[in-house]
């Protein structure tokens, strides 16, 4: 009974993290698509809100990935703790685990590129802009190029998050 309760709690936390991993890039994508209607020309107030929102989501993305990873490891360890062995899985479940881990690591690589590379540079560039003056043309161009790169990476991250969700459904595959 205790094993099932612990497993249920871990699975619930894992599912919340899964949803968060998919929801963050989904909603960010919608924000970016709405902003794109105004073209690659700086609109200071609008772009300030977009940047603060997108960059403010970074800690949540990291927390969701960390929770996903931690609970993903804790569930088989929970079984091991109570049974002295890992659960026997069907080959389809092993394939799903492999694909899921590949997608999670892909998301981690993308987040590293965004959070450690693109976002700091976007912050630097945006700090040179002001509401009451025209932006430097080169800085504005680089700003929108970096944003386009971030958007492309987020699109890939969204696809990987969907792959994680789909693969998760097959990990429990165990035909009798």
pLDDT value at residue 176: 52
Would you say 111 and 65 are in contact if contact means Cβ atoms under 8 Å apart? yes
Tell the residue number behind the tokens 């949803």, with chain if given.
19
pLDDT value at residue 173: 65
Report the half-sphere exposure of 48 (CA within 13 A, side-chain side): 7
130 DSSP 8-state letter? B
Would you say 17 and 68 are in contact if contact means Cβ atoms under 8 Å apart? yes
pLDDT digits (tens, 9 = 90+) for 40-85: 899 999 999 999 999 988 888 888 988 988 998 998 899 899 999 8
User: Three-state DSSP class for 133?
Assistant: strand
**What is the Cα–Cα distance from 68 to 54, expressed in whole angstroms?**
21
pLDDT value at residue 24: 81
pLDDT digits (tens, 9 = 90+) for 100-120: 999 999 999 999 999 999 999
Distances, alpha carbon 83 to alpha carbons 14, 22, 68, in Å: 22, 33, 23
Would you say 129 and 139 are in contact if contact means Cβ atoms under 8 Å apart? yes
pLDDT value at residue 171: 85
User: Three-state DSSP class for 140?
Assistant: helix
Helical segments of 37-136, H only: 44-56, 58-83, 91-112, 119-127
Phi and psi at residue 126, in whole multiples of 5°?
Answer: -65, -30
């Amino acid at each position: 009974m205790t094993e099932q309760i612990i497993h249920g709690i871990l699975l619930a936390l894992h599912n919340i993290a899964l949803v968060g991993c998919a929801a963050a890039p989904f909603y960010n994508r919608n924000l970016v698509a709405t902003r794109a209607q105004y073209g690659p020309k700086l609109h200071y107030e609008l772009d300030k809100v977009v940047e603060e929102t997108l960059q403010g989501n970074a800690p949540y993305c990291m927390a969701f990935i960390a929770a996903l990873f931690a609970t993903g490891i804790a569930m088989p360890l929970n079984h091991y703790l109570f049974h002295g062995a890992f659960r026997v899985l069907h080959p389809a479940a092993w394939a799903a685990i492999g694909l899921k881990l590949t997608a999670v690591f892909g998301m981690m690589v993308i987040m590293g590129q965004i959070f450690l590379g693109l976002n700091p540079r976007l912050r630097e560039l945006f700090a040179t802009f002001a509401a009451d003056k025209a932006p430097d043309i080169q800085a504005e161009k680089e700003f929108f190029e970096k944003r386009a790169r971030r958007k492309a990476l987020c699109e890939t991250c969204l696809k990987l998050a969907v792959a994680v969700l789909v693969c998760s459904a097959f990990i429990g595959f165990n035909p009798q």
